Amino acid sequence: MIKIFAPASIGNVGVGFDILGAAISPIDGSLLGDTIEIKCSNQFCLINKGKFANELPSNNKKNIVWQCWYYFSKIIGKKVPVSITLEKNMPIGSGLGSSACSIVAGLVAMNEFYNRPLNPSELLILMGKLEGNISGSIHYDNVAPSYLGGLQLIIQEENIISQAIPTFKKWIWIIAWPGVNLSTEKSRSLLPLQYTKEVCIQHSKNLAGFIHASYTQQSHLATKLIKDVIAEPHRVKLIPNFSYAKKSILKMGALSCSISGSGPTLFTICNNIILAKKIAKWLTANYLQNNKGFVHICNLDNIGARKIGE
């Protein structure tokens, strides 16, 4: 029996549309992500459980974990009957890499179960392909950090899909999912097909500056450069109270704030736990729209996908 956990992630990290992603882990020790368990069986079986299992498609062949098994089996050239249990603890359409959690946990578990026929690069490529099947285009900014941990920069050159970049140990990440869903495909459809030269230059300056600040460990400069000029201006109309929440928590002392992935989850960064708790309390009272929503104070998860229950 193999049991794999894959953590939630913040796609884009504001400044890096489709090319930056951060894996996160609540500081209270809870697991924010999905879990896959695989066991030997006489016939194929997929069991869904967990807090958000009811959001999964009733047709198992439309379940991303079934697709993981199907494509993985095609690559290795055999379909071994197994029993797969998906513990779906991430809300779908939250902007926290929900599909990526299932994809990463599913493929890592299968690779372990079959004695690792695929190397990490081959696994990551397959993860990106399956993510693209859901969102409409291949992108790695959720699957890469969920699989590898840390803050990942997507490169896709010289057989290198992704590499980790330096992070700031004092940063505390707070995420708030308001309790409503927003599909990645719908969120991406709002983006313009063309951008002005000025926007392109601003985006390049912010991203290059953020990477430079990360490598030179200039924390203050890095937070000032987490600005989303590509997606956030067009997506805010889909996210109730985001603009008000961002303005309020920056006024409280947060270092930066933006949309996590496609939204509607908000992420913000601060550098002390007292302020983090204050912001988390404010977001709980003012950003959540129902009792399904949640707020977590997090650190970066530097491990990524891993075995649990051993």
CB atoms within 10 A of CB 265: 28
Q: What is the pTM of this model?
A: 0.95
AA letter at 191? L
pLDDT on residue 159:
86
Place of tokens 């929503």: 293
At 199-227, the pLDDT tens digits run 999 999 999 999 999 999 999 999 999 99
Both structure tokens of 46? 């997929």
CATH architecture observed for domain 2-165+302-307: 2-Layer Sandwich (3.30)
* C-alpha distance from residue 17 to each of 49, 139, 230, 279 (Å): 32, 10, 7, 25
Residues 263 and 233 sit within 8 Å (Cβ to Cβ): no
At 76-122, the pLDDT tens digits run 998 878 999 999 999 999 999 999 999 999 999 999 999 999 999 99
For the residues of 241-282, what is the DSSP string, one character each? Answer: THHHHHHHHHHHT-SEEEE-TTSS-EEEEES-HHHHHHHHHH
Cα–Cα distance between 64 and 244 in angstroms, integer?
Answer: 35
User: What are the residue ranges spanned by the domains of the chain?
Assistant: 2-165+302-307, 172-299
Q: Which of 35-39, 72-76, 212-216, 275-279 has the lowest mean pLDDT?
A: 72-76
pLDDT on residue 185:
78
Both structure tokens of 173? 């990440």
Superfamily of structural domain 172-299:
GHMP kinase, C-terminal domain (3.30.70.890)
Mean pLDDT, rounded, for 220-249: 96
At 124-181, the pLDDT tens digits run 999 999 998 877 778 899 999 999 999 999 999 888 999 999 999 999 999 999 999 9
